[in-house]
């Protein structure tokens, strides 16, 4: 082989080896690059996975939040909807049948027919395998929900639920807890006062809806306030069979086949009448009338028309009229089986079993209709309603007489007092006026027919319209009981009716209080007549115009069972009739109105004996079966239903009869609401009325006269208070112990407590007028029964002397000397003697006491003594022939009038029949006749 060839081979080998080396390096580098790329690839993949997981987690969290928010919102909305439905359909309007009972409501409510099926009720995720919701209802295909938090991803993505909190069941922030069923949202329809219902679809379900609606309408209104007229030609009334117990009471009337035209005509007639006479252009609907006036003079008439085939043209047009105009007049139609075109106020219900029913007002939401009400509930309710209706009309609420809240006290009484007293049977309001004509009223009705209630209702209607500046009441009840006490503040209720100035209760044995009221009114009449003369006017309206700043309210004086005041032929009755006659005659133009009520006016001889007096009472009010209050030939009261009255402003002439259904005003709660409302509006200066309760013993510390006493150094005319007079102003009876002959006081009778009460009142009131040391007081106790009371008085008067059997001789000797002394008397000396007739010391002591009685007062020495009998006082004074003028004032307890004649100058004896805790007071220096007083208790 040639050299050159070898070289070339070598060369090639070297070249190859070099190339191999280079390739090796390149390969290694390529491997490295590949490894690096792979590692990068791995990193990228790992990062991508991690990022996707993070995004997934974030997305799931967001979905969970949205789900939770959605559920919370939905639950809240369901709650709101359920609460709104509850409010719209309270009580019997919406209560499920198992707990249903009638609950008459103030206003017509919407009525429940079933429940709404909400698309996505917020229920917790169903446990796999369980097909029922926690509320026990079927899940149903579209009712089932995907577990919140499980996310179904797109193909190829990570699909398994990722571990973490999102796989837990979501919490609900608000709304019902998960183990509680969401609230039921009632499906409601509006019938009474709103519109008409047309039921279509499944017949059985439709029947159930109609029965349910009727029962709810009946159960939400007062018995008799809903009248049902049934027309069921196919089943001859079978569709309303359950309501049959209502028929005898007239609450359900059935119309036979062929009677549809007449039924529709009748209803159209009602609508026309109600529009013309009840709404009378003043209101657009009964609903509005009720809202404004609280009156509902017409029942709701619900006509149930179940089928009827083709209607005649007339029937169709009457039906259309009713559909358009009936609801405003309380005429409503519930229709099944007649074609009705949609229109305002017409609710369509498509009845179907299960959850396929619909009501138009709920849009597309499915409705599960309620089952029919249980037949026993229907029957029991209907029976109860029928019984109550048969027993008489339901009471009307007092509110129906009142002006709208906030509009009280807007009327002026310048020309009279006018107020509604209720509705006539035809639905028109009956207004009653007291003015110049008719000025006074007589109310009559046998016991229990509602006289007192009538007076309450009238007073309520007046008090709500006229302010206390325009109207004042003076009330007297001669019946036993406290029916007028509610107008004055009491222990339980501190409010009073601001117009009431005086309330007298339990006065049946204190007829003097009736007289006091009449005397007070007479004085007021004189005041008004004088003012009228001064302003040269003739009646109240003119006086008020001339004297706008004066206080001239119309006065209404109500005397219940007034015949008690006039019974008998004694001085009280005589004076009362005279005063009444004057008040009745002259009060009319001076705004003083008398309202006299009695169980039976025929028994009041004193009144009927004075035709001129009776004629003034031209407003006559007769309650059922009242006699003689209307004209002889007017028998309207005989046929009056319960809670009605005949109001007659023309002295009972039959043509002037107006029948009124009187609202119930006796209910304390309702009355209380009105009284509180008016009381809160009272002018600040208006105090409570004077309450005279004949059963209550007054207290000296409450006496305005006692509280007004002030101590001074030497009052010239000290006043001894004795008890409360029976008069309008709660005055205290008094006797003035000035320096003058006869200024002594004798208390006569055997009743220890009352005698001690009078002496204690006198002693305490006298002591209150003197500064310390200003007068000398001596208490003499000669009867152990009176000792405690005498000691109590002694303890109350500072520096008072105490004497009894043992030492009274000292006092008498001293006092007799003082009475006859020549030196001027320095200060008054009051000697209070308990049981003066028991004075020891024989003739000498008796003579000393006589001296003190005769001569003491001129030297400011006064005896206030208690003798246990009128004859015993006579003995003290010196026997039958002795003069009695040293006893200038006396208080007689259980002493008959005839025994008092020696101490009662003038003709005969005072008219006095003793009665417990009452006394007769006479002061010859001021009185023409004696006055009845009530000793103060615990003075
Ligand atoms: N209009 C009415 N609506 C409802 N209830 C009434 C009505 N009028 C009276 N009542 C009720 O009838 C009963 C008797 O009424 P009230 O006391 O007014 O009769 P009265 O004639 O004054 O009887 P008496 O003279 O015996 O007191 C009371 O329970 C009262 O609540």
What pTM value is reported for the model? 0.67
Please state, in angstroms and rounded to a whole number, the distance separating the CA atoms of residues 762 and 740: 18
Q: Give the whole-angstrom CA distance, residue 866 versus residue 762.
A: 12
Tokens of 582: 């004057």
User: For atom 12 of ligand 1, which residue has the closest CA?
Assistant: 450
Mean pLDDT computed over 81-94: 90
Provide the CB-side half-sphere exposure for 599 (13 A, CA): 9
Spatial separation of the C-alpha atoms in residues 721 and 694, rounded to whole Å = 20
The pLDDT tens digits for 142-196 are 333 333 332 333 333 333 333 333 333 444 444 444 455 667 889 999 999 999 9
- From 508, 561, 666, mutation site for ligand 1 pocket: most ligand atoms within 8 A of C-beta: 666
Report ipTM (2 d.p.): 0.97
Quote the CA–CA distance of 914 and 911 in Å, as a whole number. 10
Domain ranges of the chain: 31-88, 186-390, 431-693, 700-934
398 C-alpha vs ligand 1 centroid, how far in Å?
13
pLDDT at 907: 66
pLDDT of residue 130: 39
Quick one: which atom of ligand 1 is closest to the CA of 599? 25
Binding residue numbers for ATP: 445-452
Mutation test of ligand 1: which of 445, 450, 505 has the most ligand atoms closer than 8 Å to its C-beta?
A: 450
CATH class, 186-390 region: alpha beta
Pairing status of strand 690-693 against strand 719-725 = unpaired
> Quick one: average pLDDT of 262-280?
94
Q: Residue 9 carries which DSSP code?
A: H
Distance, CA of 440 to CA of 588 (rounded, Å)? 8
Q: Beta strands of 784-895 (E only): which ranges? A: 801-803, 829-834, 861-867, 889-892
Annotated binding-site members: 445-452
Within 13 Å and on the Cβ side, how many CA atoms surround 172? Answer: 20
Contact present, 149 and 225 (Cβ < 8 Å): no
pLDDT higher than 50, residue 31:
yes
Q: What is the pLDDT of residues 201-213, one digit of tens each?
A: 999 999 999 999 9
Note the pLDDT of residue 24.
Answer: 94
Q: Round to whole Å and give the CA distance between 205 and 372.
A: 8
Measured from the Cα of 481, ligand 1's closest atom is: 27
In contact, 465 and 408? CB cutoff 8 Å: yes
Q: How confident is the model at residue 928 (pLDDT cuts 50, 70, 90)?
A: confident
Q: Which residues make Cβ contacts (< 8 Å) with residue 403, sequence separation at least 6?
A: 410, 464, 465
Q: Give dist(CA 108, CA 335) in Å, integer.
A: 20
CATH number for the region 431-693 comes to: 3.40.50.300
Structure confidence at residue 395 (pLDDT): 66
> Rounded mean pLDDT of 448-461?
94
Q: How big is the chain by its Cα radius of gyration, in Å?
A: 47
Token couple for 877: 């004074």
Is the confidence at residue 307, as pLDDT, over 70? yes
Report the candidate in 754, 750, 746, 782 with the shortest Cα–Cα distance to residue 864: 746
Residue 21, pLDDT above cutoff 70:
yes
Q: Which residues line ligand 1 (CB under 6 A)?
A: 395, 445, 447-453, 479, 599, 643, 662-664, 666
**Conformation bin of residue 660: beta by default, left when phi > 0, alpha when psi is -120 to 50:** beta
Q: How confident is the model at residue 631 (pLDDT cuts 50, 70, 90)?
A: confident
pLDDT digits (tens, 9 = 90+) for 513-534: 999 999 999 999 999 999 999 9
* pLDDT tier, 689 (very low <50, low <70, confident <90, very high otherwise): very high
Distance 452 CA to ligand 1 centre (A): 6
Mean pLDDT of the 499-503 span: 95
Pick from 452, 456, 644 the residue to mutate for probing ligand 1's pocket: most ligand atoms within 8 Å of its CB.
452
Angle, alpha carbons 914-919-920 (nearest 5°): 95
181-229 residue pLDDT tens:
667 889 999 999 999 999 999 999 999 999 999 999 999 999 999 999 9
| Distance from the alpha carbon of residue 664 to the mean position of ligand 1, in angstroms | 8
Query: What is the predicted pLDDT for the residue at 167?
Result: 38
- Give the pLDDT band (50/70/90) at residue 939: low
Specify the residue with its C-alpha closest to ligand 1, atom 8: 450
pLDDT, greater one: 473 or 727: 473
Q: Report the separation in Å between the CA atom of 448 and the middle of ligand 1, taken as the mean of its atom positions.
A: 5
Q: What is the Å distance from ligand 1's center to 503 Cα?
A: 20
C-alpha angle with apex 621: 618 to 624, nearest 5 degrees? 150
pLDDT given at position 234: 78
Q: What is the pLDDT of residue 908?
A: 80
Residues of the chain with pLDDT > 70: what percent? Answer: 91
Q: Beta partners for 558?
A: 475, 595
Do the two domains 431-693 and 700-934 of this chain adopt the same fold?
yes
Say what the pLDDT of residue 260 is. 93
What pLDDT sits at residue 606?
58
Q: Does domain 700-934 have CATH number 3.40.50.150?
A: no
Q: What confidence score (pLDDT) does residue 602 get? A: 59
Instruction: Assess whether pLDDT exceeds 80 at residue 482.
Output: no
Atom 10 (ligand 1): residue with closest C-alpha? 450
Pairwise CA distance, residues 335 & 323, whole Å = 11
> pLDDT-based confidence at 137, cuts 50/70/90?
very low
Residue of 396, 399, 421, 448 with the most ligand 1 atoms within 8 Å of its CB, for mutation: 448
**CA angle in degrees (0–180, nearest 5) for 924-930-932:** 135
Beta strands per DSSP E along 92-195? 111-116, 186-189
């Amino acid at each position: 082989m040639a050299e050159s060839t070898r070289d070339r081979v070598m060369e090639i080998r070297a070249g190859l080896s070099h190339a191999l080396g280079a390739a090796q390096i390149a390969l290694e580098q390529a491997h490295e690059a590949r490894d690096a790329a792979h590692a990068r690839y791995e990193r990228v993949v790992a990062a991508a996975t991690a990022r996707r997981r993070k995004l997934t987690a974030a997305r799931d969290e967001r979905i969970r939040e949205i789900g939770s928010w959605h559920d919370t919102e939905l639950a809240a909305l369901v709650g709101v909807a359920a609460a709104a439905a509850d409010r719209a359909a309270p009580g019997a309007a919406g209560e499920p049948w198992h707990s249903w009972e009638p609950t008459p409501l103030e206003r017509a409510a919407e009525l429940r027919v079933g429940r709404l099926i909400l698309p996505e009720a917020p229920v917790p995720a169903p446990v796999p395998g369980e097909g029922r919701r926690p509320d026990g209802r079927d899940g149903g295909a579209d009712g089932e929900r995907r577990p919140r938090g499980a996310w179904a991803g797109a193909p190829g993505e990570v699909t398994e639920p990722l571990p973490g909190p999102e796989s837990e069941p979501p919490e609900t922030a608000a709304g019902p807890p998960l183990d509680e069923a969401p609230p039921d949202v009632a499906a409601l329809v509006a019938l009474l006062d709103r519109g008409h219902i047309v039921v279509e679809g499944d017949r059985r379900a439709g029947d159930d809806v109609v029965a349910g609606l009727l029962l709810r309408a009946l159960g939400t209104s007062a018995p008799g306030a809903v009248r049902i007229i049934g027309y069921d030609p196919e089943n001859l009334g079978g569709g309303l069979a359950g309501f049959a117990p209502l028929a005898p009471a007239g609450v359900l009337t059935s119309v036979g086949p062929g009677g549809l035209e007449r039924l529709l005509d009748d209803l159209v007639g009602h609508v026309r009448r109600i529009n013309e006479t009840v709404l009378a252009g003043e209101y657009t609907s009964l609903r509005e009338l009720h809202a404004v006036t609280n009156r509902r003079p017409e029942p709701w008439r619900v006509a149930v028309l179940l089928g009827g085939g083709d209607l005649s043209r007339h029937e169709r047009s009457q039906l259309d009229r009713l559909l358009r105009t009936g609801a405003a007049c309380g005429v409503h139609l519930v229709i099944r089986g007649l074609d009705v075109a949609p229109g305002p106020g017409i609710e369509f219900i498509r009845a179907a079993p299960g959850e396929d029913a619909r009501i138009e007002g709920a849009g597309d939401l499915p409705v599960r209709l309620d089952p029919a009400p249980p037949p026993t509930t229907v029957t029991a309710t209907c029976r109860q309603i029928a019984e109550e209706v048969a027993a008489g009309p339901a009471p009307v609420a007092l509110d129906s007489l009142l002006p709208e809240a906030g509009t009280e006290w807007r009327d002026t009484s310048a020309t009279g007092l006018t107020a509604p007293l209720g509705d006539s049977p035809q639905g028109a309001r009956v207004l009653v006026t007291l003015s110049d004509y008719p000025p006074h009223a007589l109310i009559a009705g046998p016991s229990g027919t509602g006289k007192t209630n009538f007076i309450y209702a009238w007073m309520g209607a007046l008090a709500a319209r006229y302010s206390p500046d325009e109207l004042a009441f003076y009330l007297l009840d001669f019946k036993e009981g406290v029916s007028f006490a509610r107008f004055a503040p009491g222990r339980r209720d501190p409010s009073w009716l601001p117009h009431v100035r005086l309330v007298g209760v339990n006065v049946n044995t204190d007829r003097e209080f009736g007289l006091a009221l009449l005397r007070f009114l007479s004085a007021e009449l004189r005041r008004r007549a004088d003012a009228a003369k001064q302003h040269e006017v003739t009646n109240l309206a003119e006086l008020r115009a001339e004297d706008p700043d004066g206080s001239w309210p119309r006065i209404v004086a109500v005397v219940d069972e007034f015949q008690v005041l006039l019974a008998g032929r004694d001085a009280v009755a005589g004076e009362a009739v005279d005063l009444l006659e004057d008040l009745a005659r002259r009060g009319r133009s001076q705004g003083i109105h008398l309202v006299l009520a009695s169980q039976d006016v025929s028994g009041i001889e004193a009144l009927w004996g004075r035709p001129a007096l009776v004629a003034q009472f031209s407003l006559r009010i007769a309650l059922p079966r009242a006699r003689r209050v209307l004209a002889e030939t007017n028998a309207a009261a005989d046929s009056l239903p319960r809670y009605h009255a005949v109001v007659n402003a023309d002295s009972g002439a039959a043509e002037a009869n107006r029948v009124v259904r009187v609202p119930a005003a006796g209910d304390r709660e309702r009355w209380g609401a009105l009284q509180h409302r008016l009381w809160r509006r009272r002018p600040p200066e208006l105090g409570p009325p004077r309450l005279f309760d004949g059963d209550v013993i007054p207290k000296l510390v409450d006496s305005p006269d006692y509280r007004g006493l002030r101590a001074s150094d030497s009052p010239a005319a000290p006043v001894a208070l004795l008890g409360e007079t029976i008069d309008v102003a709660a005055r205290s009876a008094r006797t003035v112990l000035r320096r003058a002959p006869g200024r002594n006081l004798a208390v006569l009778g055997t009743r220890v407590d009352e005698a001690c009460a009078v002496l204690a009142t006198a002693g305490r009131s006298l002591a209150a007028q003197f500064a310390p040391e200003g007068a000398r007081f001596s208490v003499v106790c000669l009867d152990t029964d009176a000792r405690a009371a005498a000691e109590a008085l002694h303890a109350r008067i500072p520096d008072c002397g105490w004497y009894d059997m043992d030492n009274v001789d000292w006092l008498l000797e001293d006092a007799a000397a003082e009475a006859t002394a020549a030196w001027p008397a320095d200060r008054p000396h009051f000697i209070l003697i308990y049981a003066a007739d028991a004075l020891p010391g024989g003739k000498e002591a008796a003579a000393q006491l006589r001296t003190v009685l005769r001569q003491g007062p001129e030297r400011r020495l006064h005896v206030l003594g208690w003798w246990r009998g009128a004859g015993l006082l006579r003995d003290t004074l010196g026997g039958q022939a002795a003069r009695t003028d040293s006893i200038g004032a006396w208080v007689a307890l259980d002493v008959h009038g005839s025994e008092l004649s020696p101490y009662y100058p003038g003709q005969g004896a005072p008219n006095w029949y003793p009665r417990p805790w009452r006394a007769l007071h006479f002061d010859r220096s001021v009185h023409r006749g004696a006055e009845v007083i009530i000793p103060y208790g615990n003075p």
